[in-house]
Amino acid sequence: MFRGSFVSRDREAYGKFTPNPDQVMSAKSKGKSIVTIFPDWCKGCGICAAFCPVKVMELNDQGKAVVVREEECINCGFCELHCPDFAIMVQPKVDSEIPAGSKSAHVNAAPNGSVESEKSIKEKG
């Protein structure tokens, strides 16, 4: 009997409060992320391609993950968190002009798995 009183009271409280879905979950927007895959680290398990909600990645003919629709990425982070090889990095896009004192920078992954900042690439070339 004691338990039943809690259930009915919870139902009453729930009926009075219906949350707005926009308040519960933040809205995901497309085209605001950069998805980087380090091909030397990828073993081709396919978890990222299989579970991506918007199918940003596919497996190529060598069985490695490749980004095919980066503009569709909603930055959910599933691929990055579930990659057993740590071969995926999802970052927010940065504006083309970075303020002088800013420490953020865009990075590029080379085929050998090394990572270089845009600043070092511009200095080399």
**Which residues, other chains included, contact 72 with Cβ-Cβ below 8 Å and sequence gap of 6+?**
30, 31, 54, 55, 56
Separation CA 106–CA 93 (nearest Å)? 8
Report the pLDDT value the prediction gives residue 94, as an integer from 0 to 100: 83
Note whether 5 and 13 are within 8 A (CB). Answer: no
Topology classification of domain 2-95+105-124:
Alpha-Beta Plaits (3.30.70)
In this structure, of 49-53, 67-71, 77-81, 92-96, the range with the lowest mean pLDDT score is: 92-96
What's the longest Cα–Cα distance across the chain? Answer: 77
Given the structure tokens 């992954």, which residue do they identify?
Answer: 109
Dihedral, 96, 116, 31, 87 alpha carbons, nearest 10:
-170
Buried b (16+ CB within 10 A) or exposed e, 8-45: eeeeeeeeeeeeeeeeeeeeeeeeebbbbbbbeebeeb
Which tokens belong to 89?
């990095």
Neighbours of 86 (CB within 10 A): 10
Q: What percent of the chain has pLDDT over 90?
A: 48
Question: What pTM did the predictor assign?
Answer: 0.55
User: Binning pLDDT at 50, 70 and 90, where does residue 31 land?
Assistant: confident
